[in-house]
Amino acid sequence: MKMIVMRSAFCILAFGLLSSCSVQKQTAAKNVDLPNKKEVLEVSRRANQYFMNKWPDTGKEIVGKKVWPSNLWTRAVYYEGLIALYKIDPKKEYYEYAISWSEKHNWNMMRDTYTRNADNQACGQTYLDLYELDGRKNPERIKLVKASIDSMIASNKVDEWWWIDALQMGMPIFTKLGKITGDKKYFDKNYEMYAYTKYKHGDHGLYNPKDKLWWRDKSFVPPYKEPNGEDSYWSRGNGWVVAALARTLEDTPKSDPHYKEYLQDYRDLLSALLPVQREDGFWNVSLHDPNNFGGKEMTGTALFVYGMAYGINNGLIDRESYLPAVVKAWNAIVKDSVQPNGFLGWVQGTGKEPKDGQPLAVDKEPDFEDYGLGCLLLAGSEVYKLN
């Protein structure tokens, strides 16, 4: 009889603790003031207008240490963000700007239709979006994208996504083509290549199931360590994976045999981000070593905001757990990164690890300014939808 009473008391206590935790989470979320929709639009428009004013010629080459055509991956990420902005703020000039860019490049991959490099294919995401936005009336918009991806499917190679950035550049193209054509081969190949990156690159894969985070490429797999002895998890690199999984989940049918794995990886990665968010709302460039170039960084933070807000808006993650982090991060970006004229500060330049492009500053121009804006617009498009 005594044992029964003790068990009952334990159950009541456990239930009470769980209920208390649930109430605390709900209260925390309810106490969060959502960003004003008009203000989210104003910030997004301001940053975008700064860029459009600076780059009126959509086909102008980008001159840095070398000369790049303007449909390279950095500009492709910007146009992904512009299309996301257009979907919540359908201004004619956004659509025409994207059309102009696509036409300047003949709706083709960077430099070569049959490139197998995801960075060179990333522009295809916008071509596919524009094809759908016009009601699928202009097949020439996706002809070369499809030819490029079909050539990859015709090959047995599945190891070309050897750096995690490639997941964001490449995966959504496969799933968009699968959705448009209804052909399962695009979803199948997408998973084969994703699985090779996850499980095999770097001998045992670039995903660490223990920490639920991703190494950028095989050169960062242990024994490589950060100065504090932790594994090296680059913020923007993991941000690319977050975006890749969100965009993959958007177009992959729930009946697909790999949908649940994508969803689990997405949820696990987001759960690993919550405890390492900074007090000021940003995430460090090195997720597990806050002292290795510790400081504000906008691009990784914006991608995490995008992924979390997307999950909340689509019922994929727990609103009560993630909403406070999303709002805190978005407010930090608006306050500390987006300048009155639309310039974006605290943007890490191109690279592959925490030290690249350092030191950052509110007024420092990165080597490429376009992809940072793309990350911001992706984030803003989902924050705008929060209700």
The residue whose two tokens read 């690890």 is: 353
Task: Give yes or no for a contact between 216 and 237, defined as CB atoms under 8 angstroms apart.
Answer: yes
Average pLDDT over residues 271-292: 98
Structure confidence by residue, pLDDT tens digits, 152-180: 999 999 999 999 999 999 999 999 999 99
Q: Where are the domains of the chain?
A: 32-383
pLDDT band at 15 (very low <50, low <70, confident <90, very high): low
pLDDT band at 31 (very low <50, low <70, confident <90, very high): confident
Alpha-carbon gap, residue 181 to 179, rounded angstroms: 6
Question: Which residues are CB-neighbours of 62 under 8 A, at least 6 positions away?
Answer: 68, 69, 70, 72, 74, 75, 368
Write down the pLDDT at residue 1. Answer: 44
Alpha-carbon gap, residue 74 to 169, rounded angstroms: 10
**32-383 — its CATH code?**
1.50.10.10
Percent pLDDT > 90 in the chain is 91
Which range, of 11-20, 87-96, 206-215, 375-384, averages the lowest pLDDT?
11-20
Write down the pLDDT at residue 25. Answer: 52
The residue whose two tokens read 């049918």 is: 253
Alpha-carbon gap, residue 54 to 372, rounded angstroms: 15
Percent pLDDT > 70 in the chain is 93
Which range, of 21-25, 139-143, 249-253, 341-345, averages the lowest pLDDT?
21-25
Average pLDDT over residues 186-195: 98
- Total-model pTM: 0.93
Residue among 238, 236, 228 nearest 292 (CA)? 228
- H/E stretch holding 260 reads helix 259-273
Helix 298-313 × helix 235-251 angle, to 10°: 30
pLDDT above 60: residue 16: no
Write down the pLDDT at residue 30. Answer: 72
3-state secondary structure of 156: coil
pLDDT band at 20 (very low <50, low <70, confident <90, very high): low
Alpha-carbon gap, residue 352 to 355, rounded angstroms: 8
Check residue 190 and report its DSSP letter. H
Average pLDDT over residues 101-117: 97
pLDDT above 60: residue 19: no
**First and final C-alpha spacing in the chain:** 51
